[in-house]
């Protein structure tokens, strides 16, 4: 019986160790893919239309979901903030609340989460399917590097789109907050903007939010590309890879957000 417990325990540990090693293995291949992508970026940037096409698919086509959610997030923030601030008689500070929470946190983070769901999954599924239908191998056969032709343009497309989308998200969210606070609730419009301008700092708030969105752009796009490139070439493999893209991107975004915020707040 004792022997049975030991062997059971050993198999559990073995399983755990195997998974851990596999995760490190995947992390290593992801970093290698990142390195290759950067190395072959020059080649794909020389044909800018490849990148422009990807900006169209990841950026322009994500606009609607980003703008609509930004609008609603801003409006909800203003409603909720007004409820609490009004108790302290400082309902004019609603502009500060909406602007700071959007510019510092919600803008980059929510955009990145939506981006992972809208654009990241598309990238993973597309590349996974290209791999499953052996299009990538065919490219290699024709001496076309699939990393330079397929992966790098998508990477730069995502990295360029993400900060633009996050800026739009913050701006539209603030407009949504303005619409609820000023015409609907009746907060003074001048106080709304002037208090906002007095407390939002360009370098500390706007630029830090912008840096965050750039980092999220790199993380989300790279995870999506790697999951697609690494997907087993079957229908099930591609579907699992797509799920993993969303899960891993969301976790990476939230984790990176904590790390960056703790550096920026000091």
Partner 1 sequence: MDRTKIDLWVGIFAAIGVAALLGLAMKVGNLTTSNIGETYTVTAGFQNIGGLKPRSPVKSAGVVVGRIDAIQFDSATYEAKVTLKLDKRYLFPKDTFANIYTAGLLGEQYIGLEPGGDEEYLQEDDKIMQTQDAVVLEKMISQFLYSKATETKE
Positions that interact with partner 1 (CB under 8 A):
49, 52-53, 55-56, 59-60, 63, 99, 103, 160-161, 163-165, 167-168, 170-172, 174, 193, 196-198, 200-202, 205-206, 210
Give the nearest distance from C-beta 100 to partner 1 in angstroms: 9
| DSSP symbols for 99-148 | HHIIIIIIHHHHHHHHHIIIIIHHHHHHHHHHHHTTHHHHHHHTT--HII
Give the nearest distance from C-beta 47 to partner 1 in angstroms: 12
> In 10 A of CB 9, how many CB atoms?
10
Give the nearest distance from C-beta 216 to partner 1 in angstroms: 15
| For partner 1, the closer CB: 67 or 152 | 67
Give the separation between CA 71 and CA 25, rounded to whole angstroms: 41
Give the separation between CA 263 and CA 77, rounded to whole angstroms: 25
Give the nearest distance from C-beta 202 to partner 1 in angstroms: 4
Residues in the chain: 266
Collapse the DSSP code of 201 into the 3-class scheme (helix H, G, I; strand E, B; otherwise coil) and give the result: coil
Per the CB < 8 A criterion, the answer to whether 196 and 251 are in contact is: no
| For partner 1, the closer CB: 2 or 88 | 88
Query: In which residue are the tokens 């020059």 written?
Result: 42
| For partner 1, the closer CB: 169 or 229 | 169
Give the nearest distance from C-beta 49 to partner 1 in angstroms: 7
Give the nearest distance from C-beta 231 to partner 1 in angstroms: 26
Per the CB < 8 A criterion, the answer to whether 103 and 205 are in contact is: yes
- Positive or negative, the Cα torsion across 171, 173, 178, 184? positive
| For partner 1, the closer CB: 124 or 167 | 167
| For partner 1, the closer CB: 52 or 76 | 52
| For partner 1, the closer CB: 123 or 136 | 123
């Amino acid at each position: 019986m004792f022997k049975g417990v030991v062997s059971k325990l050993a198999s559990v540990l073995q399983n755990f160790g195997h998974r851990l090693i596999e995760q490190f293995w995947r992390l290593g291949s992801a970093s290698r893919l990142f390195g290759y992508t950067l190395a072959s970026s020059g080649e794909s940037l020389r044909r800018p239309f490849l990148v422009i096409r990807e900006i169209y698919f990841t950026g322009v086509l994500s606009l609607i979901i980003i703008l609509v959610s930004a609008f609603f997030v801003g409006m909800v923030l203003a409603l909720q903030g007004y409820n609490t601030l009004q108790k302290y008689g400082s309902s004019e500070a609603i502009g500060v609340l909406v602007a700071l929470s959007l510019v510092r946190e919600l803008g980059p983070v929510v955009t990145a989460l939506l981006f992972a769901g809208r654009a990241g999954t598309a990238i993973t599924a597309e590349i996974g399917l290209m791999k499953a239908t052996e299009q990538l191998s065919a490219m290699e056969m024709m001496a076309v590097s699939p990393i330079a032709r397929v992966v790098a343009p998508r990477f730069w497309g995502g990295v360029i789109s993400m900060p633009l989308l996050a800026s739009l998200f913050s701006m539209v969210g603030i407009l949504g907050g303005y619409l609820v606070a000023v015409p609907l609730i009746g907060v003074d419009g001048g106080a709304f903007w002037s208090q906002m301008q007095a407390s939002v700092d360009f370098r500390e708030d706007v630029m830090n939010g912008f840096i965050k969105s750039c980092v999220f752009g790199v993380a989300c796009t790279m995870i999506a590309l790697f999951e697609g490139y690494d997907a087993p070439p079957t229908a099930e493999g591609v579907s699992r890879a797509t799920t993993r893209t969303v899960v891993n991107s969301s976790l990476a975004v939230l984790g990176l957000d904590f790390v960056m915020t703790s550096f920026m707040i000091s």
